[in-house]
Amino acid sequence: MMKPLPTILLSLFLCSFAFAQEPGCENLFPDNAVILFQGDSITDGNRGRSADPNHIHGHGYVYLIASDLGANHPGKNWTFVNRGVSGNTVEKLQQRWEKDTIAVKPDVLSIMVGCNDFSHGVTAQEYYDRYDSLLKETVEKLPNVKLIIIEPFYRADEETLKRYAPFQKAAADLAKKYNAVFVPTQQMYSEAFQSVPKPEYWVWDRVHPTTTGHWLLYKQWLKCVKEN
Amino acid sequence: MMKPLPTILLSLFLCSFAFAQEPGCENLFPDNAVILFQGDSITDGNRGRSADPNHIHGHGYVYLIASDLGANHPGKNWTFVNRGVSGNTVEKLQQRWEKDTIAVKPDVLSIMVGCNDFSHGVTAQEYYDRYDSLLKETVEKLPNVKLIIIEPFYRADEETLKRYAPFQKAAADLAKKYNAVFVPTQQMYSEAFQSVPKPEYWVWDRVHPTTTGHWLLYKQWLKCVKEN
């Protein structure tokens, strides 16, 4: 029996809601995947250092990603691990990489680093070379890992942003070299800074997103990972 | 000119997506509203005690609500405040109510409390009476506040849940008495516990949701608040 048109329209309407609730992430990562987040304080988010599940993901984009994907795909049995450490540069990541990344055996590895290199006087070339070396080691030891590289961002005047741009280009170039998903962030934040009177609404000091600013990073990460 | 049916269907499909992205929360609270969350450790979520905006919302449903609503409605200038304190019973809330609630002058006040009263031997009648007194004081001192009461929940055997039910009924009855939005949670969690092999996926001990479990609480809160 043919359904009448209003019923078809209603079904389609409701169906599209169901789809919006489950935004096509089913095949994002393999079943039982370990998804590891590495970086500095923006990733760390005051995460707990014990195994207490209350606090292991920190306050930030990692929490939002783990909460959303974990809740909407419970059957996938994905494990989200945060190993961000406040103040980290690429060099500091290198020093703890074996213990905090290789030993975790991630299937997916998301990295955001750069603002501390910049503020500690590391040059863009040094940043590139160290990051390159870190990624080389990573793909040698974890040949099947899926890499995600987040562009480091800054809230600053134009002159500072111009000096930071080579660091951002380095991250983009390395994402290309290592076939990683690249998550651009600077333009997104720069646009958000225009949308309300106070840029501090999104990024409260030069580098740390607010609770609301982390939402943008989470959505951007998910969008880029889904498209790749 | 009549549009052909496929165009109409496509428009409807895309339109429903747009609606799903902006879920009709524009008029949820007045412009510049202060939205305060009160409760125990589930609300606290290891929130920072300083004014450092990195950590003020804790890890939990408060973070998810503040992040979502803040990011999607920046023009509203809503302020989300978390004053949950681990281990709090209704009696402990009463002791700090003037300083931590009345003085904050919230436009919206969301409360979840109960599990510590239960585990500390408070009877359901005492819980009702103290909670009633707390709410009476609240509406006297903040006559225009919009109240939201979250049902306290538990992950436990049937016998324990049966003993907890009068506390949950007390919260529901008080929501009705004070014309508050009521956010039911027990059935939602009980159903989630059936959906994967391990209930710990959602609530890791008896009372604390995991990162993924907090997503359910956030979505349920938003759904109930939008409907009322």
Whether A117 is a known active-site residue: answer no
- This complex has an ipTM of 0.88
* Amino acid identity at B160: T
Q: Which pLDDT score, from 0 to 100, does residue A50 have? A: 85
* C-alpha–C-alpha distance, residues B169 and A13, integer Å: 36
Residues of A with CB under 8 A from a CB of B: 9, 12-13, 16-17, 20-21, 41, 45-46, 48, 53-59, 63-64, 66-68, 70-72, 74-75, 80, 192, 195-196, 201, 204, 208, 210-216, 218-219
Looking at residue B203, the DSSP 8-state letter turns out to be: B
The answer to whether the CB of A212 falls within 8 A of the CB of A201 is yes
Distance from CA of B66 to the nearest CA of A (A): 7
Token pair 């938003």: residue: B222
Let me know: does B11 contact B84? Beta carbons within 8 Å.
Answer: no
Counting every residue, how long is chain A? 228
- Predicted TM-score (pTM) of the model is 0.89
How close B167 gets to chain A, by Cα (Å)? 24
Return all residues near A1 (Cβ < 8 A) that are at least 6 apart: none
What integer pLDDT is reported at residue A24 of this predicted model? 62
Q: CA B34 to CA B38: how far, in whole Å?
A: 13
What pLDDT, on a 0 to 100 scale, did the predictor assign at position A51?
A: 79
Residue among B60, B45, B169, B183 nearest B118 (CA)? B169
Tokens of B224: 């109930």
Domains defined along chain B, listed by start: 29-227 (3.40.50.1110)
- Active-site residue, A73 included: no
Cα torsion angle, B69, B72, B73, B79, sign: positive
Residue A211's closest CA among B39, B16, B65, B129? B65
The Cα B43–Cα A1 span in angstroms is: 52
Contact (Cβ atoms closer than 8 angstroms) between residue B168 and residue B186: yes
Phi, psi at B34, each rounded to 5° = -100, 120
Whether residue B67 and residue A211 make contact (CB cut-off 8 A), yes or no, is yes
Q: How far apart are the C-alpha atoms of A219 and B5, rounded to whole Å?
A: 33
Give the whole-angstrom CA distance, residue A136 versus residue A94: 11
**C-alpha dist (Å) from residue A90 to A117, A123, A124, A141, A182:** 7, 12, 12, 18, 17
Do residues B218 and B61 lie in contact, with contact meaning Cβ atoms separated by under 8 Å? yes
Q: Which residues contact A137 (CB under 8 A, 6 or more apart)?
A: A97, A102
CA separation for the pair A79, A100 (Å, rounded): 15
Active-site positions of B read 41, 205, 208
CB B178 within 8 A of CB B147: yes
Report the distance separating Cα B160 and Cα A218, nearest Å.
Answer: 38
Nearest one of A44, A74, A223, A57 to B216, comparing CA atoms: A74
Please give the pLDDT value at position B12. 40
Q: Annotated catalytic residue: which of A55, A59, A73, A208?
A: A208
Amino acid at A85: V
Extract the residue ranges of chain B whose pLDDT is less than 50: 1-22
Contact B70 A20 (CB under 8 A): no
DSSP string, B106-165: -SEEEEE--HHHHHTT--HHHHHHHHHHHHHHHHHHSTTPEEEEEPP-----HHHHHHHH
Edge-to-edge, what's the strand order for the sheet holding B34-39? B79-82, B34-39, B108-112, B146-150, B181-183
Cross-strand partners of B129 = none
Closest-CA distance, A125 to chain B, in angstroms, reads 31
Give the pLDDT of residue A107: 98
Question: Are residues A59 and B64, on separate chains, in Cβ contact within 8 Å?
Answer: no
The order of strands in the sheet holding A181-183 is A79-82, A34-39, A108-112, A146-150, A181-183
pLDDT in tens, chain A (228 residues): 334 444 434 444 433 333 334 456 778 999 999 999 999 999 999 999 987 888 899 999 999 999 999 999 999 999 999 999 999 999 999 999 999 999 999 999 999 999 999 999 999 999 999 999 999 999 999 999 999 999 999 999 999 999 999 999 999 999 999 999 999 999 999 999 998 879 999 999 999 999 999 999 999 999 999 998
The residue among A222, A21, A47, A64 whose CA lies nearest residue B67 is: A64
